[in-house]
């Protein structure tokens, strides 16, 4: 896992701009704390920050392969999980493999396949390859965008990086927040429209897309999407196929030369991952699996049951650690550090995010990094298998908007009245919502319920899941730590996409089918535990802390948040401890303290990034 930056211009000489390249690359030090590398010629500059996971000597970047006709130079962030199969194909085609680094395999696979290489990769990746003979740069991003890649243009120069902050180190690239950016930030945020960012003229390469940059400009193409097809397997065959795909996906992702662990919450998803990994360790004669969970000071004492969070995790974690004989570690976060890390979490995302839902993961990864470098998690099972309440709740299904963000009136009211008169959030959200739904392929053979759930699944996979994947990458890589998500294997997602909803929601339960196949290998209490989201703090001292932080900000009438948001409404939110905002800001967790923490992050972002507002 790593980060990279670069810029290219095939119409002018950039060979003397190494200092710019170094400044850009230094912003990614947290993504790659182990080493860096540089390549620059008259038209292209590439640089890399490396987190060593595989083959310390054989995976150095930029990696160069030179031939009589020219060279190929690669910078890459990710992990290829079908490396061994690719090695066999490469050897059949007379390639010599000198290391066990997936970086070398990726570069030589590109030399073999060209742009079609993306159709031969199973993994998480973003990368750029320069072909000096063709004078062309090829860039690509994995199927679900687990690894990031952003870009912009300035006077014809193509500039790209693993994080947005690096782009702003290129002289002349400005931080501008325009009408669309405001709509993204306060209408869609902390999610975002695929391909966009909150900054004007700063873009992301969409998931499952590749790009070619040459003297004629930038050409972007989609290489994969979920395909709607009639599901023909029997129920028993479907269960067997799912077990195979799960085992294969998890096992592939255990490749590592550094210590590896799993996150274990005692929920169904993380328990499945931990079970398969634990069994693998036993089969291979390895030491017991290390598992990690997050908790908060006095959380059990202050826990309050809700529809979204019916129980705490510790009881179920104990069941699983005894079942699997894992070496379990409980990371306990205290309130002050949770609030104090809101700024780091915002910087990691380059925008306000999920408040302490982000900062808690950042701190969790920071603690686990002291002992491990890679973890597998159960994220994305809810999106793939239909685990969220909005798959079942009529108010969400009939909301005609993104079901995790139905607080449209409250979001509009939050804008500064002048900006609110110019920016109509509902119009923008409606446009993005309908634009996204137009991509869904419904089959004539789909039942009405399956057709409806295809739509909600499409939205969840392309918007909500992307937000959580962004969170995982940024919070983990801010600590030089790698998170892997086996449920996000594109083959598994494709297979589950076409399973009839009546099977997915077996017995009327969220993730009913996944629960059913887990009966063979997990305790019943885990299999049928009601879904509980990522744990947040219930300690009242956190509410007190963020309320004080936001109050201090609002005492300053010149605080930059007042230029964007409705000061009176924020004061009302403060006075009611968030209750004036009647719905969660985002998903299931961002209420009360999290909403106030989000306001704090907005002000921090305005102070730190100081975008020019164009409205």
Q: Where are the domains of the chain?
A: 2-222, 235-387+462-527
Active centre residues (catalytic) = 2
- Weakly modelled stretches of the chain, pLDDT under 70: 1, 54-55, 302-311, 588-589
SS (H, E, C) 404-455: CCCCHHHHHHHECHHHHHHCCHHHHHHHHHHHHHCCCCCCCCCCHHHHHHHH
Beta strands at 123-131 and 136-141: parallel, antiparallel or unpaired: antiparallel
Q: Give the pLDDT of residue 1.
A: 62
SS3 label, residue 261: strand
Hey, how many other C-beta atoms are within 10 angstroms of the C-beta on 153? Answer: 17
Q: Is 520 exposed, middle or buried (0-12, 13-18, 19+ CB in 10 A)?
A: exposed
Domain 235-387+462-527 part of CATH 3.65.10.10: no
Q: Give the pLDDT of residue 439.
A: 95
Q: Give the pLDDT of residue 306.
A: 60
Q: Give the pLDDT of residue 53.
A: 75
Residue whose structure tokens are 């030399």:
111
CA distance 361 to 474: 10
SS3 label, residue 593: helix
Both tokens assigned to 40: 């620059």
Q: Give the pLDDT of residue 304.
A: 67
Both tokens assigned to 202: 């700063």
SS (H, E, C) 157-195: EEEEECCHHHHCCCCCCCCEECHHHHHHHHHHCCCCCCC
* CATH for 2-222 (3.40.630.40, 2.60.40.4070, 3.60.20.10, 3.40.50.2300): 3.60.20.10
Contact 139, 7 (CB under 8 A): no
Q: Give the pLDDT of residue 609.
A: 97
CA distance 401 to 426: 9
Query: Distance between the two ends of the chain, CA-based, in angstroms?
Result: 39
Q: Is 415 exposed, middle or buried (0-12, 13-18, 19+ CB in 10 A)?
A: buried
CA distance 432 to 198: 14
Beta strands at 612-613 and 176-177: parallel, antiparallel or unpaired: parallel
CA distance 23 to 30: 14
Beta strands at 217-222 and 209-214: parallel, antiparallel or unpaired: antiparallel
Q: Give the pLDDT of residue 305.
A: 67
**At 254, phi and psi to the nearest 5?**
-90, 0
CA distance 35 to 119: 30
CA distance 384 to 488: 8
Rounded to two decimals, what is the model's pTM?
0.95
Q: Is 253 exposed, middle or buried (0-12, 13-18, 19+ CB in 10 A)?
A: buried
């Amino acid at each position: 896992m790593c980060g990279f930056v670069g810029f290219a211009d095939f119409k002018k000489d950039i060979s003397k701009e190494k200092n710019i390249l170094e400044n850009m690359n230094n912003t990614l030090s947290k993504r790659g704390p182990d080493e860096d590398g540089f390549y620059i010629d008259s038209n292209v500059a590439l640089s890399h920050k490396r987190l060593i996971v595989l083959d310390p000597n054989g995976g150095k970047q930029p990696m160069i392969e030179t031939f009589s006709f020219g060279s190929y130079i690669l910078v890459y962030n990710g992990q290829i999980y079908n490396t061994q199969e690719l090695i066999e194909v490469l050897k059949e085609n007379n390639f010599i493999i000198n290391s066990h680094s997936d970086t070398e395999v990726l570069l030589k696979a590109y030399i073999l396949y060209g742009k079609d290489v993306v159709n031969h990769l199973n993994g998480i990746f973003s990368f750029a390859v320069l072909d000096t003979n063709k004078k062309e740069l090829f860039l690509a991003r994995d199927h679900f965008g687990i690894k990031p890649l952003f870009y912009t243009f300035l006077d014809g120069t193509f500039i790209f990086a693993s994080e947005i902050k690096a782009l702003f180190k290129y002289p002349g690239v400005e931080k501008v927040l325009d009408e669309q950016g405001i709509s993204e930030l306060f209408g869609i945020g902390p999610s975002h429209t695929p391909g966009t960012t909150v900054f004007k003229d700063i873009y992301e390469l969409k998931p499952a897309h590749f790009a070619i940059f040459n003297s004629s400009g930038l050409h972007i193409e989609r290489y994969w999407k979920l395909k709607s097809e009639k599901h023909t397997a029997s129920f028993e065959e479907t269960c067997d196929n799912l077990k195979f795909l799960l085992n294969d996906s998890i096992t592939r992702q255990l490749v590592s030369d550094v210590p590896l662990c799993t996150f274990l919450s005692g929920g169904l998803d993380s328990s499945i991952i931990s079970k398969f990994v634990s069994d693998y360790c036993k089969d291979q004669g390895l030491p017991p699996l290390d598992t990690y969970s997050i908790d908060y000071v006095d959380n059990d004492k202050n826990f309050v049951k809700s529809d979204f969070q019916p129980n705490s995790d510790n009881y179920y974690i104990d069941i699983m650690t005894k079942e699997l004989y894992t070496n379990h570690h409980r990371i306990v976060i205290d309130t002050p550090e949770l609030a104090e890390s809101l700024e780091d979490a915002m910087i990691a995302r380059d925008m306000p995010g999920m408040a302490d839902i982000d900062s808690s993961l950042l701190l969790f990864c920071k603690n686990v990094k002291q002992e491990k470098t890679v973890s597998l998690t159960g994220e994305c099972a809810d999106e793939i298998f239909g685990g969220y309440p909005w798959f079942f709740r009529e108010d969400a299904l009939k909301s005609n908007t993104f079901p995790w963000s139905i607080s449209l009136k409250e979001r509009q009211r939050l804008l500064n009245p002048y900006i609110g008169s110019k920016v109509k959030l509902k119009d923008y959200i409606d446009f993005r919502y309908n634009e996204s739904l137009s991509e869904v392929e419904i089959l004539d053979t789909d039942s009405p319920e399956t057709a409806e759930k295809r739509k909600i699944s499409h939205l969840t996979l392309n918007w909500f899941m992307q937000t959580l994947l962004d969170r995982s990458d940024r919070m983990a890589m801010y600590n030089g730590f790698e998170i892997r998500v086996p449920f996000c294997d594109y083959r598994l997602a494709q297979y589950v996409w076409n399973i009839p909803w009546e099977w997915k929601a077996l017995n009327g339960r969220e993730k009913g089918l996944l629960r059913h196949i887990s009966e063979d290998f997990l305790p019943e209490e885990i299999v049928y535990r009601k879904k509980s989201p990522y744990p947040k703090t219930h300690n009242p001292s956190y509410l007190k802390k963020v309320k004080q932080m936001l109050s201090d900000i609002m005492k300053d009438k010149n605080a930059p948040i007042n230029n964007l948001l409705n000061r009176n409404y924020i004061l009302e939110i403060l006075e009611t401890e968030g209750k004036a905002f009647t719905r969660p800001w985002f998903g299931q967790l961002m209420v009360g303290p999290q909403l106030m923490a989000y306001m704090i992050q907005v002000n921090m972002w305005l102070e730190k990034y100081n975008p020019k507002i164009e409205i």
